[in-house]
Amino acid sequence: MARDLRETLEEVGICTWSLEPANGRVTVSENCNQVLGVPARCLSDHDAFQAILHPEDRAARAAAVRGTLERGGRYSIEYRVRKTDGEIRWLRSQGRAERGRSPGSVRLRGIVYCIDAHRQAEARLQRLQADLIHVSRLSTMGEMASALAHEVNQPLGAIGIYAAACDYLLAESGTIRIDAARDALAAAIGQTQRAGAIIRRLRDFVTRGESDRQFESVQGLIGDACDLALIGVREQGVNTRIDPGPPGTRVFADRVQIQQVLVNLIRNACEAMRDSARRDLAIVAAVQDDGFVRISVSDTGPGISEAVAETLFLPFVTTKPAGMGVGLSVSQSIVHAHGGIFWADSTATGGATFHFILPLAED
Ligand code: ADP
């Protein structure tokens, strides 16, 4: 390699290396210690190089090296190394096969550079995205606060009535009507369970939680999301049709995040129908032939306004006076992170339909 090119590479923090497969010898440029955090003398051969790698990354590097030697071509991988001071550093290594010195032989040559800053930025972005998803969930719950308070108040009111009836029955002069009092108590207990279930669902929804993917039934996801999103909606005269698809349909997903998508779509649909004479909401899941399940939420509102159609999934796009405009963009990023696709179209009857597909979970 020309000297000035090598110097330039070294200046910008790129280490060059080569590997002779015949004897496993590795040659690295002088800036190796700066870039990898390990001096060149510790990297004399392939095995020594493997030894400084994070144990979880060794197999992938060995396979990339072996594959490129066998088939030719190039590779590009990322791995972690343990520096001599014990710290972990992320590196990207690119290599390619080329003709070796002896006839018919092949050797590898490439570059390696530090990507710690890039990794840190990525991790920060992921944290920010998780925060945004969480804040958006809190904001949805904030908007639903009065409907939620009403929903919890109902069983509390009922418990009060049953308790008063119980008190009355037990205090009735002379005859103790134990059976009737028991019935009233059982009914009160039923109501406490109802209130408890609402609060539990709410708590799960607002708790931050790291992204936690599990095998989830589509029916369960839709059922739980509807329980939450439809609070206070039935009173608005909305007819709801829920078809959760064939039982046993499963996805590998973060339950709370997928529920968040559904809650966003259902709340948007109900809000869109507020001034409509006809208020039909449908939540339908269908298994597709291509290994995905499609979940669609449609309404009979006015449809998506032209003003926002082009920019619908961009953050902070809203037509609502108090809207934040993050619901759809957050929903889209959740679906993308799950390997799915999210889109909107207009319903034949004039409203809007939002669809998303998720890969079916394989056992
Ligand atoms: P926000 O609800 O805070 O406005 P969203 O990102 O959830 O934020 O929605 C962005 C915009 O998309 C809404 O302001 C509305 O104009 C439009 N929109 C969303 N859902 C529907 C729907 N079901 N029907 C018509 N327009 C909708």
Concatenating the DSSP letter of every residue in 149-170 gives: HHHHHHHHHHHHHHHHHHHHHH
Q: Domain 117-210 is of which CATH architecture?
A: Orthogonal Bundle (1.10)
The CA 250 to ligand 1 mean position distance, Å, reads 28
Q: Which residue did the predictor score with more confidence, 126 or 63?
A: 63
Start and end residues for every CATH 3.30.565.10 domain found in the chain: 211-363
Could you read off the pLDDT of 53-105 as tens digits, one per residue? 999 999 999 999 999 999 999 999 999 999 988 899 999 999 999 987 777 78
Instruction: Specify the pLDDT at position 205.
Output: 85
In the predicted structure, residue 351 carries a pLDDT above the cut 90: yes
* pTM of the predicted model as reported, rounded to 2 decimal places: 0.74
Start and end residues for every CATH 3.30.450.20 domain found in the chain: 2-114
Could you read off the pLDDT of 177-217 as tens digits, one per residue? 788 888 999 999 999 998 888 888 888 888 876 778 999 99
The first and second tokens of residue 207, run together, are 């708790």
Instruction: Specify the pLDDT at position 176.
Output: 67
Question: Which residue, judged by its Cα, is nearest atom 21 of ligand 1?
Answer: 268
Start and end residues for every CATH 1.10.287 domain found in the chain: 117-210
Q: Is the CB of 66 under 6 A from ligand 1?
A: no
Residue whose entry in the numeric block shows the structure tokens 């001034």: 275
In the predicted structure, residue 249 carries a pLDDT above the cut 90: yes
Residue 313 CA: which ligand 1 atom is closest? 6
Where residue 7 falls (left for φ over 0; alpha for ψ -120 to 50; beta otherwise) is alpha
**C-alpha gyration radius of the chain:** 30
Instruction: Specify the pLDDT at position 147.
Output: 84
The total number of residues written for the chain in this structure: 363
Instruction: Specify the pLDDT at position 363.
Output: 63
Mean pLDDT value across the chain: 90
Using N-to-C axis directions, what is the helix angle for 178-206 and 145-171, rounded to 10°?
Answer: 160
Question: Which residue, judged by its Cα, is nearest atom 16 of ligand 1?
Answer: 319
pLDDT-derived band of residue 239, with 50, 70 and 90 as boundaries?
very high
State which CATH number among 3.40.50.2020, 3.40.50.720, 3.30.450.20, 3.90.550.10 fits the domain covering 2-114.
3.30.450.20
CA distance 212 to 200: 18
The CA 318 to ligand 1 mean position distance, Å, reads 6
In the predicted structure, residue 347 carries a pLDDT above the cut 80: no
CA distance 363 to 356: 22
Instruction: Specify the pLDDT at position 1.
Output: 61
Q: Is the CB of 28 under 6 A from ligand 1?
A: no
- Torsion on CA atoms 110, 116, 118, 121, rounded to nearest 10: 170
In the predicted structure, residue 348 carries a pLDDT above the cut 90: no
The CA 15 to ligand 1 mean position distance, Å, reads 50
Q: Is the CB of 346 under 6 A from ligand 1?
A: no
Instruction: Specify the pLDDT at position 73.
Output: 94
Question: Which residue, judged by its Cα, is nearest atom 14 of ligand 1?
Answer: 318
Instruction: Specify the pLDDT at position 226.
Output: 93
Could you read off the pLDDT of 294-342 as tens digits, one per residue? 999 999 999 999 889 999 999 889 999 888 888 999 999 999 999 999 9
Could you read off the pLDDT of 148-177 as tens digits, one per residue? 888 888 899 999 999 999 888 888 766 667
Instruction: Specify the pLDDT at position 4.
Output: 80
Q: What percent of the chain has pLDDT over 70?
A: 98
CATH class, domain 211-363, is alpha beta
Residue 315 CA: which ligand 1 atom is closest? 6
Q: Is the CB of 311 under 6 A from ligand 1?
A: no
- Torsion on CA atoms 213, 214, 217, 218, rounded to nearest 10: 10
